[in-house]
Amino acid sequence: MERRLAYAMVGGGKGSFIGPIHRMAIRMDDLADLVDGCYTHADDWRAMLERAKGRADFVAVCTPNDSHHEIAKAALESGFDVMCEKPLSLTLAEAEELGTIAERGGRKLGIPFTYSGFPMVKAARDLVASGELGAICKVVLEYQQGSFRKIDLTKPLDKRNKWKMDPTKSGPSCVVADIGVHGFHLIEYVTGLEVKSLLADLSSFAPGNRLDDDASILMRLGDGGAKASMVVSKVATGEENGVRLRVYGDKASLFWNQESPNYLSVKYPFAPERIYKRKAPYMLDVSEPSVAFTRVPAGHHEGFIEAFANIYREFCAAVRDRGEHDYPGAREGVRTMRMVEAALASNAAGNTWVEVRG
């Protein structure tokens, strides 16, 4: 049996959405024990890190965006592996610094871009890699949320929306940094292609919001001329968490919808559409990982916590064996911040093409 790990948490206390998710995800596979935490008072997390030395293997950072960099940096420098909420930092420079620190110190740095933890997203990636879709020419990704349309304008903003709209807490981008990074990661993860450049058109539609809450981003991928069109929004009224990914190759296309996450549709020009289903017997031939990363039988649904637990399963494997595993790490944290900065630059320049460095 594998060694049980120990971890400490910063942030993620009362009222937090994501803190409990981290804890449930870690418990699901009984990966690690929570040995210390600093859930509410941001001022004493340094003392907590000190206490946790020798007792915790890794630190989970679940605070608002503006403290990600500082806390993650301190934790890495204290010798902890770190799972840090996205976006990794407010600026690209900070993300790059974290990446460098982790690499130099031999520390593991994970970022829970949860969607690549879904079994059928892994199946999508493996189908693309196997050549089933042929050469990829186009990706269409929507990430539609209506959270900024649930705000009662006659009342003070709730805590969560408040910091998301606040540049001092959120950094220079809201929707692109908050959920655009998920979309971007999904595109690169599934296609295996790097985004080379982008053209972004950002908007601020929610009353009182000065940051971007809606974005249309065109992208160029890889060296073969592939393109992507990504729409992300927090003002998509009535949408809950509409992550919809369509990948078009010259032989077939695929569609995955986070709101029905256990299925993956593949369409062919000359054959019936196929609905691949999580953990069905034939999935072993299509994508072994899509089967390995499930916990309940076919037909019995898995959701967000299970996907999150998959990220942690791989991260904890890396913490134990110090090897490479299938979780979003420093590279993905830096890549997504490069995208954020490119999007802001493109928008500021009147929607021009901006390079996304490799």
Binding to a second copy (CB under 8 A) within 337-356 occurs at 350-351, 353
CA torsion sign, 67 to 115 to 14 to 35?
negative
Q: Helix 330-348 to helix 92-105 angle, to the nearest 10 degrees?
A: 160
**Please, which residue, 297 or 358, has the CB nearer to a second copy?**
297
Which parts of 119-148 interact with a second copy (CB under 8 A)?
133-134, 137-138, 140, 142, 144-146
Nearest distance from residue 272's CB to a second copy, in Å?
4
Which parts of 163-202 interact with a second copy (CB under 8 A)?
199, 201
Which parts of 29-68 interact with a second copy (CB under 8 A)?
29-30
Residue from 276, 312, 315, 327 that binds a second copy (CB under 8 A)?
276
Residue from 14, 223, 271, 323 that binds a second copy (CB under 8 A)?
271
**Residue 74, C-beta contacts closer than 8 angstroms, at least 6 positions apart:** 45, 46, 49
For residues 344 and 328, give the distance between their C-alpha atoms in angstroms, rounded to a whole number.
23
**Please, which residue, 277 or 320, has the CB nearer to a second copy?**
277
CB neighbours (10 Å) of residue 149? 16
Residue from 4, 268, 321, 348 that binds a second copy (CB under 8 A)?
268
Residue type, 131: G
CA torsion sign, 164 to 166 to 170 to 171?
positive
Residue from 12, 99, 249, 329 that binds a second copy (CB under 8 A)?
249
Residue from 15, 79, 167, 303 that binds a second copy (CB under 8 A)?
303
SS3 at position 107: coil
**Please, which residue, 163 or 353, has the CB nearer to a second copy?**
353
For residues 3 and 214, give the distance between their C-alpha atoms in angstroms, rounded to a whole number.
44
Nearest distance from residue 303's CB to a second copy, in Å?
3
Residue from 169, 274, 320, 325 that binds a second copy (CB under 8 A)?
274
Which pairs with CB-CB distance under 8 Å and at least 24 residues apart come from 15-21? 15/159, 15/160, 16/62, 17/160, 18/62, 18/85, 19/62, 21/304, 21/305, 21/308
**Please, which residue, 72 or 139, has the CB nearer to a second copy?**
139
